[in-house]
Amino acid sequence: MIISTKKGTPAAELDRIIHEFEAKGLEVTLIRGTDYNVFGLVGDTTVLDEKQIRANPYVDNVQRVSEPYKKANRLFHEADSVISVAGVKVGGREKIAVIAGPCSVEGEQETIDIARQVKAAGACMLRGGAYKPRTSPYSFQGLGTEGVLDLVKARKATGLPIVSELMSEDRIDEFEEYVDLVQIGARNMQNFQLLKAVGKMTKPVLLKRGLANTIEEWIMSAEYIMAYGNENVILCERGIRTFEKYTRNTLDLSVVPIIKEKTHLPIVIDPSHATGNWRYVESMSLAAVAAGADGLIIEVHPCPERAWSDGAQSLKPDRFQHLVEKARQVARVIGRDL
């Protein structure tokens, strides 16, 4: 980190600043100039709060030269992390994981049927929301525990690991017991209390990018989970808010190479929530695979017009199967499989 102080900063203040940083275990170099004094700080600067440093009236500028995250940082962990979800591997350079299922769990038999269909089409995990973050309090809120147990039955029938969204700390024990991959939804990406709590779980976490969050904020949320003890984090891009109205969100595919450069964590793309329209889900899936994504998470429903949530972006099983076949061809071109 580089800090410059204003002209006329008293020598006693410069000494005080040096001692303050040294007390935090940092190595401090001071370059005294005629107009400015410049501090170079070396060591673990993730413990420093830039805004707090700027609050000092003598400080003119603060600049980070390293990232504020450590555990997620590729710099300290060169190899790609491969996360095991009940034995299914996500990450690494070979296999691409395809997760599919309905937006909301709608009942036991429905869930078993859809699980069988997505498995036959090539999915390696089943998704389904039992606790739904809905914009309107009058919309369907999810089946709750009953929905989680429906997923468990579908896992028993098919062997597919199950992915579901955790919205609050009071369901942690239920998810720890039943769910294989704990989804933290876009709306909770910066629910720091929840992030700390899942950081103490033993189950891997699928962390979705917030509706309007920067890549750095998203990685910092992964860092929360990792700093609290759970290093099994998979990132999921699901589109961000822009001025564009033709799609529900704007799929930021550039995150794939950026996440790979900055972190060692796997990155999964959700083209369903990103586009909000089933017509665009296949092309964005193929693009995601070509860009190097480690997985796809796709909403599939046997009868989208009757889905309890997100029908407009849900694929019918036969279209999903077509997508998987095409995605497999793209994967092979780049030396991967799916």
Query: Applying CB under 6 A, which residues contact ligand PEP?
Result: 103, 129, 133, 185-187, 208, 238, 273
Least Cβ distance, residue 273 to Mn ion (angstroms): 6
- CA distances to 65, 140, 155, 285 from 96, in Å: 34, 32, 20, 12
- Confirm or reject binding of residue 103 to Mn ion (CB under 5 A): yes
Give one DSSP letter per residue of 125-159, joined into a string.
EEE-BSS---SSTTS----THHHHHHHHHHHHHH-
| Contact partner at residue 186 from ligand PEP, Mn ion, none, CB < 5 to 8 Å by partner kind | ligand PEP
Residue 264 · residue 277 · CB < 8 Å: no
Least Cβ distance, residue 185 to ligand PEP (angstroms): 3
**Secondary structure (3-state) at 306:** helix
Nearer to ligand PEP, 66 or 141 (CB): 141
Q: Which stretch binds Mn ion (CB under 5 A): 56-64, 96-104, 162-170, 183-191?
A: 96-104
Find the binder of Mn ion among 165, 180, 270, 310 (CB under 5 A): 310
Rounded CA separation 213/242 (Å):
11
- DSSP label at residue 96: P
Least Cβ distance, residue 165 to ligand PEP (angstroms): 6
| Contact partner at residue 238 from ligand PEP, Mn ion, none, CB < 5 to 8 Å by partner kind | ligand PEP
Residues in contact with Mn ion, counted by CB under 5 A, come to a total of 2
* Residue, CB closest to Mn ion: 103
- Confirm or reject binding of residue 270 to Mn ion (CB under 5 A): no
Least Cβ distance, residue 47 to ligand PEP (angstroms): 31
Least Cβ distance, residue 108 to ligand PEP (angstroms): 19
**Sheet of strand 2-5: strand arrangement:** 27-32, 37-42, 2-5, 59-63
Nearer to ligand PEP, 17 or 206 (CB): 206
Nearer to ligand PEP, 67 or 310 (CB): 310
| Contact partner at residue 185 from Mn ion, ligand PEP, none, CB < 5 to 8 Å by partner kind | ligand PEP
Helices (H) and strands (E) in the chain, counts: 11, 14
> Longest Cα pair distance anywhere in the chain, in angstroms?
77
| Contact partner at residue 171 from ligand PEP, Mn ion, none, CB < 5 to 8 Å by partner kind | none
Give one DSSP letter per residue of 196-244, joined into a string.
HHHHT-SS-EEEEPPTT--HHHHHHHHHHHHHTT---EEEEE--B--S-
Q: Which stretch binds Mn ion (CB under 5 A): 102-110, 137-145, 168-176, 241-249?
A: 102-110
Nearer to ligand PEP, 95 or 209 (CB): 209
- Confirm or reject binding of residue 165 to Mn ion (CB under 5 A): no
- CA distances to 109, 151, 306, 308 from 116, in Å: 11, 12, 19, 20
- Confirm or reject binding of residue 106 to Mn ion (CB under 5 A): no
Nearer to Mn ion, 81 or 111 (CB): 111
Phi, psi angles (nearest 5°) of residue 60: -95, -45
What is the pairing mode between strands 125-127 and 267-269? Answer: unpaired
Residues 6+ apart with CB under 8 A from 167: 131, 133, 185, 188, 194
Residues lying near Mn ion in the complex (CB under 5 A): 103, 310
